[in-house]
């Protein structure tokens, strides 16, 4: 998918509205428009990367920074009793938006454990 047609690239460029709760040079966090839990955020790379299928060992540093943002995001959004992080990658996962993102879900008890 081209970055011009990518929904998340449009949100990053502020061409599409979203409820943004965090933003720095590398990443943006906004509310999922179709939440599956009380809190459902999307932590998204500003660079258009398709999924975890497209990364390698060379991406360790920024990926580390991306994951390390999660506790602060969780605290700032009042989600103190635990959460879950999911990243769909590729066809079999049902990935809808081919732009790398982590779903951060919580706010209520997450009954269905996949793994
Ligand atoms: P995926 O299946 O790619 O892991 O999940 C994509 C997620 O993006 C879905 O949970 C969907 O609700 C969310 N989403 C799709 N379009 C938009 C949009 O325009 N705005 C926001 N905020 N979320 C979206
Ligand atoms: Zn994109």
Domain 7-106 has CATH 3.30.70.1530: no
pLDDT at 1: 61
Domain map of the chain by residue range? 7-106
Is-contact 47 101, C-beta < 8 A?
no
101 is catalytic: yes
Protein residues with C-beta less than 5 angstroms from the ion ligand 2: 6, 8-9, 48, 99
pTM: 0.96
Distance from C-alpha of 70 to C-alpha of 63, rounded to nearest angstrom: 12
Count of beta carbons in the 10 Å neighbourhood of residue 39: 19
pLDDT by 10s per residue, the chain, length 115: 667 899 999 999 999 999 999 999 999 999 999 999 999 999 999 999 999 999 999 999 999 999 999 999 999 999 889 999 999 999 999 999 999 999 999 998 888 777 7
Nearest ligand, measured from the Cα of 11? 1
User: What is the pLDDT, as a whole number, of residue 113?
Assistant: 78
Residue of 31, 40, 48, 101 marked active site: 101
């Amino acid at each position: 998918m081209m970055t011009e047609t990518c929904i998340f690239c449009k949100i990053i460029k502020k061409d599409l509205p979203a409820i943004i709760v965090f933003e720095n040079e590398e990443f943006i966090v906004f509310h999922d428009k179709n939440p599956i839990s009380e809190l459902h955020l999307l932590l998204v790379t500003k660079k258009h990367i398709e999924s975890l299928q497209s990364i390698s060992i060379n991406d360790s540093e920024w990926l580390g920074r991306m994951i390390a943002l999660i506790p602060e995001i969780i605290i700032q959004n009042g989600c103190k009793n635990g959460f879950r992080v999911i990243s769909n990658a590729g066809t079999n996962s049902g990935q809808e938006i081919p732009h790398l993102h982590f779903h951060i879900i919580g706010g209520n008890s997450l009954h269905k454990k996949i793994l």
